[in-house]
Amino acid sequence: MTASYIETENNQNSANSRYIMTLGSHCSLQVLKGAKDEGFETLLICEEKRLSLYKRFKFIDKLIVLDNFQNLLDGDFQKKLVDEYNPILIPHGTLISSIPMDDLEKIKIPIFGNKWILRWESDRSLKQRLMNESLLPAPQQILSKNDIDGLCIVKLHGAAGGKGYFLVTDKKSFEEQSQKLVEDGIIDSENQLFIQKYANGVPVYLQFFYSPIENELELLGIDRRYETDIDAIGRIPAKIQMSSDLQPSYTVIGNIPIVLRESLLPEVYSMGERFVSAASKLVPPGIPGPFCIEGVYDNNANFISFEFSARIVAGTNLYVSGSPYSDLLYNTPVSMGRRIAMEVKKAINLSKLGLILT
């Protein structure tokens, strides 16, 4: 393993000697900016190809360059990080997709939030169990291709951000498209695919933060994703769509802010609270910190949920300076990254780190 150390210019001593650390991707800028605003030192693990990007940001105190994020698993390297920086690792989507779950659970660096629940996010059947326990209305799962009757969405297991998802309407269209994935070497067999009824509606992602210290749930922001090519197809006239072989796909390119009708907020909080109590029942210690419930509102303004994320989501990057919802709760700009740092600071001051780290 090669770990070379590069320090940025901005490394005066901060108010708090504990480092907030994350991997250079996904929402790392927002997380470290928030940590710096709360007086923490900040540490970024990054790959060589991204170094020139991250060196631009003076709120990053230390940059450590690894050939590959998997090198974080080296025991000596972890010990060195713990000895020198006493870090708290903030998990995000890139950490989950680059480090196998068994290894992540064994990491010696304290992780913010519940590291055990990350497995429930990645495994579709555990995920469904937690969603059922939370009484989140979900689209029906189709267990056999013979039962496909009407519009369904087909997902690859563990696909990052909807990449490779496709739509089918019957067994024949499922077989045609899955055969292509087998031929392209993307899957070994169609049994690896997960089929779900397509929930027609407008997509909405609800960004929550749960504080176990205050026993309080906060809604801090709402967004929708901007996805190719599903958000591009509407730019092409229907007649031309019909005569071309356009396939909708769901690769996330960015995020768009949303505010909901105020009358929808009571049910939003209620879903968040049900998720918090289901998580603490099924996966102790539950869900300290950020999480996101993802779904669509249908034409009766009912929410149908297809996913959750049990950690900070990249859609929170919209609200580096706070959101319409965080502004209602705080008089200063509070991003999700900053909210995490506020909770860490409070836990340190009250000697309650055990409530928020695993």
Query: Given candidates 20, 153, 310, 341, which one binds ligand AMP under the rule CB under 6 A?
Result: 153
Return the number of the residue (298 or 327) whose C-beta is nearest ligand AMP: 298
Q: Which of residues 240-299 bind ligand AMP (CB under 6 A)?
A: 250, 294
Return the number of the residue (59 or 226) whose C-beta is nearest ligand AMP: 226
Q: Is the peptide bond before 285 cis (omega within 30 degrees of 0)?
A: yes
Shortest CB 306 distance to ligand AMP, Å: 4
Return the number of the residue (61 or 307) whose C-beta is nearest ligand AMP: 307
Return the number of the residue (194 or 210) whose C-beta is nearest ligand AMP: 194
> Cβ of 290: how many Cβ atoms within 10 Å?
29
Q: Is the peptide bond before 83 cis (omega within 30 degrees of 0)?
A: no
Return the number of the residue (34 or 295) whose C-beta is nearest ligand AMP: 295
Shortest CB 308 distance to ligand AMP, Å: 9
Return the number of the residue (110 or 139) whose C-beta is nearest ligand AMP: 139
Size of the site for ligand AMP (CB under 6 A): 14
Paired tokens of 262: 């105020």
Q: Which amino acid is at 351?
A: S
Shortest CB 238 distance to ligand AMP, Å: 20
| Spatial separation of the C-alpha atoms in residues 39 and 66, rounded to whole Å | 26
Q: Which of residues 209-238 bind ligand AMP (CB under 6 A)?
A: 225, 227
Q: Which of residues 182-201 bind ligand AMP (CB under 6 A)?
A: 196, 198-199
Shortest CB 41 distance to ligand AMP, Å: 34
| Spatial separation of the C-alpha atoms in residues 104 and 311, rounded to whole Å | 14
Q: Is 165 in the site for ligand AMP (CB under 6 A)?
A: yes
Residue ranges of E strands in the chain: 3-7, 16-23, 40-47, 62-66, 88-89, 141-142, 152-156, 166-168, 193-197, 202-211, 216-229, 250-257, 289-297, 303-309
Q: Is 307 in the site for ligand AMP (CB under 6 A)?
A: yes
Q: Is 87 in the site for ligand AMP (CB under 6 A)?
A: no
Paired tokens of 106: 């064994």
Return the number of the residue (6 or 246) whose C-beta is nearest ligand AMP: 246
Handedness of CA 165, 168, 171, 174 (dihedral sign): negative
| Spatial separation of the C-alpha atoms in residues 36 and 278, rounded to whole Å | 33
CA angle (22 as vertex; 111, 279 as ends), nearest 5: 40
Give the residues lining the site for ligand AMP (CB under 6 A). Answer: 139, 153, 162, 165, 196, 198-199, 203, 225, 227, 250, 294, 306-307
